[in-house]
Structure 1
Amino acid sequence: MSAAADKTWFGQPRGLTILFLTQMWELFSYYGMRTLLVYYMTKQLLFAQEKASFIYGTYTAMAYFTPILGGMVADRWLGKRNAVVLGGSIMAFGHFMMAFEPMFFAALATIALGNGLFLPSLPSQINDLYAAGDPRRGRAYNVYYVGLNIGGFMAPLVCGTLGELYGWHYGFGAAGIGMFLGLVIYIAGRRYLPPEPPRFVPPAGAVADAPGHHRQVWWLLLGVGIAATIFRGAYEQIGNTLPLWIDTGVDRAWGAATLPMTWFQSLNPLLVIAMTPLLLMVWRHGAAAGRETSPAMRMAIGALIVAAAYALLAVVAAVAGEARVGWGWLVAFFVVLTLGELYILPTGLGLFAKLAPPRLGATTVASWFLAIFSGSLLAGAVGMLWSRTSHSGFFLLLSALAVLAALLLWRLDRPIRMLPKPG
């Protein structure tokens, strides 16, 4: 498919802006609810920390398991556009259900169900905006990732503030409004999106070695997915146990005022927005000079940077002991963590989309979210150790998980580079 001629965002097609804004509001709703979830369970529903951590991990895992089925449904029957609209509508309904305490578990299940249709079908449209070999395609996922994090930045400030200061249900209601706005933008901008590809059927007349090549691709993607699972076990603690540490272990004083706990969760997306243009410039210059880093190696570097971020918290927590630490250390942690995140997460999504077999774009992208599913389950299990170990020991464990993920990605780099270039 030829790339659209119009350029409106970092020199990218207009359709990327529509996908960008749609995902921005979807992430506003998701992170708005996630920002409040652990606090709501422990402070309003009075769940024990271990139970709240387990529910959090299970919910985030299921939100990223349903896209496996949703991607297949989109590729074979619904189509990507219909899947986005239907899934987004179900998610909006689920977010509004969160405003009613008796519907708590039903609301979580509804959001996870809608996410299954929505999540793989939106980013899998990015590839179709570009002609084969278009050099903008790889960087498009970083631009798209900024859109995600604008929503993630606004969510704690809006939903978190409403929930923490005025009532949890106001925050959950605001998340539902965000999802609705995303749907409106997507429907209004459909003319800028790529045409709907044909539904998947086994390709007739395929070359004899194509099935073997596809099997090789799937095995390598499985390896990357396992590395991403291990990485997510550490990374996802920023929404699980880290908020508990912010609540009890960080001095949040700002003069005579105390900063709300949820505001600190805006640091990560804010830094993504600020740092992405700089990183894109560095990578662009590196590519022009013939020093472009391969995707798997870039992901390995990101995992090591995240390991350094958690090692920093381990040292800070060990030195502080029972005392609260200054919130400046938390800011430093988020700066390092976000740098690593930008190396690994959008690169992983782009790698899965790039290696997708023909007409299986949504299904392959959904496989990336399967790694988030398994990583979220791991994060929930790891989070249950929070109350059973020292804070410094826990953060050191997270650092070790990120290092393990980096080693696996490093071993996968050469086999991935040896794959035939996609057409």
Structure 2
Amino acid sequence: MPGNRQFLGHPLGLTVLFLTEMWEMFSFFGMRALLVYYMTMRLDLAQDHASLIYGGYAALVYLTPIPGGFIADRWLGKRRAVLLGASIMALGHFMMAAETLFYPALITIAVGNGFFLPCLASQIEGLYAKHDPRSKGAYNIYYVGVNLGAFLAPLVCGLLGEVYGWHWGFAAAGFGMLISLVIYVAGLRHLPAEVTPAVRETPATTDAVTVRARLGFLLGIAAIVVIFRGAYEQVGNTVALWADVGVDRQVTSGWSIPMAWFQALDPLVVFAATPLLVARWSRLAKRGIDTPSLLKMAFGATVVALSYLLLAGIAGWTGSQGVHAHWGWLVGWFVLMTLGELYILPVGLGLFGHLAPEGWRATCIALWFFAGFFGNLLAGALGTLWSRLSQPIFFAVIGAVALCSAAMLFGAGLRAQRAQR
């Protein structure tokens, strides 16, 4: 265990991880906020082609944590993996400044992310003693860091990219990654010490059976989350395109809201609503009411589904009237969708962290992110329907996909409850 220094009632190491992830997310979402626009407006790629590239890149970002997390657990160690991954990612972001390096840059960022992503979040559990009640809320706090960086990214990188040139936005993302690396190095003394992977004992046979059972259960949940992400990941893809072609972004006669700024709404709502949700869950827990994680996740997926169905209704009404939707509707959609997100993404991350067998934590966290691999492939494929379907029907299809995942999570939650009785 690291030292006893605390900040806001939590170990100081959580602040280090929070800030490290915040700046990494600044770089990641800063680049992502520009990616579709850059491909369609600068590289002159067709929308369906750009959607497949976007989905393929996002999928690769969630595939590489599987080998990265396994390598860290078995040989490299979490600390070295984070340092290596952050350095590689910074290089990839700076490579984005050159159009000829576009595809190599995407691959470089994804490879670095594979070492960074699972090995940072998997250090949270080591900050707390076993059964410390603060550990559950730690994942929600960490998720705020994720979204604070994601909130700042479109405002800074998006503005630089749209107004001053795409390469300025990509360079800003690169500097964000460097800041993340510096913070992590400066705060290493506050993070949990780790056992050298090479000297870990081989688990007993009974432990091996437990490990397989846990991994099998988590793999099943990850498979369901794939379906959810197929809907959720439209935020930076087709929803971003709708903000361009279907929304009236004009605020005054001389100023319209930049397209990329809407991408900041999701993390802004996360930042504002998380303390309220954590406080509410803590009050309920003190009264003996603790909703199982899978049922929370099912509720969240249902809310996301309803948000897309609402978007379908808005697109249908404005289309029939021959007008663009007021930007306030898009703001309202982001609020509703993000409230649903808070019940599934940080909750799922915490579930995988808590259930991870010792010595397999980075691998299990990687398994959670691995759902994003197939989820983004699905999202990219679904995104190609944008050019073939009307906007209302497209958003209704996405809502149905999210609703399907909600039903499966609810069923898995009920089965898990019966198995514990």
Give TM-score, length-normalised by structure 2: 0.96
- Offset, 1:415: 4.3
**Amino acid in the other structure paired with 2:386:** W
Q: Cα distance 1:100–1:204, how it changes in 2: closer, same or farther (>3 A)?
A: closer
| Equivalent-residue separation in structure 1 for 2:201 and 2:289 (angstroms) | 37
Unmatched runs of 5 consecutive residues or more in structure 1: none
How far is 1:219 from its partner? Answer: 2.2
**Does the alignment pair 1:122 with 2:133?**
no
What amino acid sits opposite 2:4 in the alignment?
A
Cα drift, residue 205 of structure 1: 6.5
1:69 aligns with 2:99: no
Residue in 1 aligned with 2:195?
197
Aligned to 1:240: 237
Match of 1:136 among 131, 134, 137: 134
The question of whether the paired residues in 2 share the 8 Å contact of 1:230 and 1:401 is answered with yes
Contact conserved, 2:73 with 2:361, CA < 8 A, in 1? yes
User: Residue 258 of structure 1 aligns with which residue?
Assistant: 256
Q: Which amino acid aligns with 2:179?
A: L
The Cα shift of 1:407 comes to 1.0
Structure 1 partner of 2:377: 377
How much does 1:416 deviate?
3.7
Alpha-carbon offset, residue 303 of structure 1: 0.3
Matching of residues 175-254 of structure 1 within 5 Å? 175-199=173-197, 203-204=201-202, 206=204, 209-254=206-251
Does the 8 Å contact 1:220/1:412 carry over to 2?
no
Kindly indicate whether the alpha-carbon contact (under 8 Å) linking 1:19 and 1:122 is maintained by their aligned counterparts in 2: yes
1:5-404 superposed matches below 5 A: 5-9=4-8, 11-199=9-197, 203-204=201-202, 206=204, 209-256=206-253, 257-321=255-319, 322-404=322-404
Q: Taking structure 1 as reference, are residues 417 and 203 closer, same or farther at Cα in structure 2, changes over 3 Å only?
A: farther
Unaligned runs of 5+ in 2: none
Q: Could you tell me whether the CA contact under 8 Å between 1:4 and 1:130 is conserved in 2?
A: no
Give, as a single letter, the amino acid of the residue that structure 2 aligns with 1:128.
Answer: G
Question: Deviation per CA, 1:29-84, whole angstroms, max 9, x where unpaired?
Answer: 00000000000000000000000000000001001101100001111111100100
The whole-number CA distance in structure 1 between the counterparts of 2:211 and 2:418 is: 14
Any conservation in 2 of the 1:142–1:346 contact (CA below 8 Å)?
yes
Q: Is 197-206 or 409-418 further displaced after alignment?
A: 197-206
Rounded Cα–Cα distance in structure 1 between residues aligned with 2:374 and 2:323? 35
After the TM superposition, list the runs of 4 or more consecutive aligned residues in structure 1 that deviate by more than 6 angstroms: none
Shift of 1:160: 0.1
Q: What are the Cα deviations for residues 299-345 of structure 1, in whole angstroms up to 9, with x where unaligned?
A: 00100010111111011011111421001111110110110010000
Deviation at residue 414 of structure 1 after TM alignment: 3.7
Question: Per-residue CA shift, 1:76-122, capped at 9, x if unaligned?
Answer: 11110010001000000000000011100010010001001101100
Q: Is the 8 A contact 1:61 1:372 kept in 2?
A: yes
* Structure 2 CA distance for aligned equivalents of residues 280 and 338 of structure 1: 15
Q: CA deviation at 1:291?
A: 1.1
Distance change >3 Å, CA 175–CA 275, structure 1 → 2: same
Q: Residue 203 of structure 1: CA displacement?
A: 4.5
CA contact (8 A) 2:215 2:364 kept: no
Number of residues paired by the alignment?
418
Q: Distance in 1 between matches of 2:325 and 2:391?
A: 12
Contact 1:24 1:148 in 2 (8 A): yes
Cα distance, 1:197 vs structure 2: 2.6
Aligned residues of 2:274 and 2:342 also touching (Cα < 8 A): yes
In structure 2, what is the Cα distance between the partners aligned to 1:99 and 1:202?
43
Contact 1:304 1:402 in 2 (8 A): yes
Go from structure 1 to structure 2 and tell me whether the alpha carbon gap of 1:81 and 1:204 turns closer, same or farther (over 3 Å shift).
closer
Q: CA deviation at 1:212?
A: 3.0
- Superposition CA RMSD, Å: 1.6
Give the distance between the partners of 2:230 and 2:215, measured in 1 at CA. 22
Q: Distance in 2 between matches of 1:337 and 1:77?
A: 40
